[in-house]
Amino acid sequence: MIPLRDANPAHARPYLTWAIALVNVGVFLYMASLGDVFALTSFLLDHAFVPAAFREAPGDALPTLFTSMFLHGGWAHLLSNMVFLVVFADNVEDRFGRLRFLVFYLVGGAFATLAHALFSRESLVPLVGASGAISAVLGAYISLFPRQQVLTFVPPLFVPWLVLSFLARVPRFFLFWLPAWVFIGYWALLQVLEAGASLGMSVQEGGVAWWAHVGGFAFGLAWTRLLGPRRRRS
The predicted-structure confidence for 57-94, as pLDDT tens digits, reads as follows: 888 889 999 999 999 988 999 999 999 999 999 999 99
| Tens-place pLDDT, residues 98-145 | 999 999 999 999 999 999 998 888 888 889 999 999 999 999 999 999
Beta partners for residue 153, in sequence order? 2, 175
How far is the C-alpha of 199 from the C-alpha of 187, rounded, in Å?
Answer: 19
- Residue 48's DSSP bridge partners are none
Residue 50: closest CA among 214, 206, 192, 198: 206
Q: At what angle do helices 98-119 and 131-144 cross, to 10 degrees?
A: 120
Closest CA to 172 of 150, 152, 148, 146: 152
d(CA 85, CA 202): 30
**CA–CA separation, 75 and 81 (whole Å):** 10
Percent of the chain residues topping a pLDDT of 70: 86
- In terms of Cβ atoms closer than 10 Å to its own Cβ (0-12, 13-18, 19+), residue 215 is buried
Tell me what the mean pLDDT of segment 202-225 comes to. 83
Question: For the chain, what are the domain ranges?
Answer: 2-227
Q: Would you call 2 helix, strand, or coil by DSSP?
A: strand
Q: Report helix, strand or coil for 39.
A: helix
Top CATH class of 2-227 equals: mainly alpha
CA angle, residues 141, 143, 147, in degrees to nearest 5: 80
Once rounded to an integer, what is the mean pLDDT over residues 13-31? 95
- Give 177's strand partners: 151, 169
Average pLDDT across the chain, whole number: 86
Q: Is residue 165 very low, low, confident or very high in pLDDT (cuts 50, 70, 90)?
A: low
Give CA–CA dist 56/47, Å, rounded.
16
3-state SS, one letter per residue, for 102-171:
HHHHHHHHHHHHHHHHHHCCCCCCCECCCHHHHHHHHHHHHHHCCCCEEEEECCCCCCCHHHHHHHCEEE
Distances (CA, A) of 117 to 51, 68, 180, 227: 5, 13, 29, 25
